[in-house]
Amino acid sequence: MTRDDFMALDAADTLRELRDEFVLPESVIYLLGNSLGPLPRRAIERVARTVETEWGLLLSESWNASGWWDLPATTGDRIAPLIGAGPGEVLVCDSTSVAIFKVVSAALRLRPGRRVIVSDAGNFPTDHYVVEGVADAFGYEVRDVAEPLRDDVGAVLLSHVDYRTGAMRDMAAVTDQAHAVGALMIWDLCHSAGAVPVDVTAADFAVGCTYKYLNGGPGAPAYLYLNPRHEDAVNVISGWHGHAAPFDFEPGYRPAEGVRRFASGTPPVLSYGALNAALDVWEKADLNALRAKSLALTEQFMDLVDPALKIVTPRDPAARGSQVSIRHPNGYPVVRALVDRGVIGDFRAPDIMRFGFAPLYIRHVDVFDAATLLNEVLEKESWRDERYAGRRLTVT
């Protein structure tokens, strides 16, 4: 296929108009939406309105008039369809790390007498760090998912899509395995929601961030899902925002009903403004078309890059998310060289180059151009330039 062939695919793309919803520099191919999504154009006006009108003019009246108080719940209801959940089952609050602490602690309290938490040693570090912290604080054992599940396991926490490789687990099958031994299943959706179909209804809890594929902005609040069958689960961070009657200022804590009890502190209103602007875009997207395009983009990239490269992302469409990861002993300087040529990917130690394909704004021709530039950097060994040797906090 020629570059013109890829441009023809873009002309026929039913999602093509959504690209205009984002601020994307002309000279950049942004393949890092799996780390930080680009700015939705409508977020600029939404945040300005939140600052200038809701805060600037209405002041404290905005807790009522502008719906600030209910943002965790109303925003959660907008995210719910993206993960297969229903109204009143998702709450947007805190960070992913805090959300993981909350749901792991809650799950363990629902399984008294079971002293084991199962996780994945290769999971995103914050997941494993939080699990280790819970285990140390409350006297639990952490066991790796590679070991057989036994009836002493209280909770299982796994990522739906692996952040390094892009490999995707069979959510339904794994959930069934956890339930078969009486454990509760918690899913991390950070690298799947907004990129692949998700159905959390069989799971017990789920968490996810909103600043990657959902484009909520840097530091945007995370979300958590509570299966209605666990509506009496205990939130160990029992802050005032999760109280049944917060403005009664009672001396003792009474949890709100359902997922609202997992709120703790006052919501970061400005961040909700940007996130809700992004969700306006998501309500225009066909999720089936999104997944079909995601698979096409990743397949095309894998076909176009040098066949000598070691692609670690599964070729099986049912087993991959929306990124392509490649092992290379000099992956860091290669990615740095690509950044200088306008292709923004990233690197994960020790040797993985990651390229995310967010179907809302990535075009087929972007895949062609990015693969061409990657092959050129490798063929000409441009990455050997001494400018690319020194490490930075990020490669971009």
**Residue whose entry in the numeric block shows the structure tokens 């006006």:** 45
What are the structure tokens assigned to 220, written together?
């945007």
CB 189 within 8 A of CB 314: no
Contacts of 359 (CB under 8 A, 6+ apart): 15, 195, 289, 290, 291, 293, 294, 297, 322
Asked about 124 being catalytic, the answer comes back as: yes
**Residue whose entry in the numeric block shows the structure tokens 């530091």:** 219
CB 338 within 8 A of CB 385: no
Asked about 310 being catalytic, the answer comes back as: no
Query: Collapsing DSSP states into helix, strand and coil, what is residue 251?
Result: coil
Asked about 293 being catalytic, the answer comes back as: no
The one-letter code for the residue type at 266 is T
What radius of gyration do the chain's Cα atoms show? 22
Rama region for 113: left / alpha / beta (φ>0; ψ in -120 to 50; rest) = left
Counting Cα atoms < 13 Å in the Cβ hemisphere of 74 gives 12
Sheet-wide strand order for 346-348: 310-311, 323-327, 352-356, 346-348
Asked about 380 being catalytic, the answer comes back as: no
Given the residues 6, 22, 30, 124, the one annotated as active site: 124
Given the residues 143, 164, 354, 363, the one annotated as active site: 354
What are the structure tokens assigned to 141, written together?
């054992």
The one-letter code for the residue type at 337 is A
Asked about 188 being catalytic, the answer comes back as: yes
Given the residues 94, 120, 127, 188, the one annotated as active site: 188
CB 342 within 8 A of CB 29: yes
Given the residues 212, 260, 348, 363, the one annotated as active site: 212
Maximum separation of any 2 CA atoms in the chain, in Å: 70
DSSP E strands in the chain: the ranges are 29-30, 90-92, 116-119, 141-144, 153-159, 184-188, 205-208, 223-226, 310-311, 323-327, 343-344, 346-348, 352-356
CB 84 within 8 A of CB 200: yes
Given the residues 205, 211, 332, 357, the one annotated as active site: 211
Of residues 188, 192, 172, 193, the one with CA closest to residue 82: 193
Residue positions annotated with a catalytic role = 124, 188, 211-212, 354
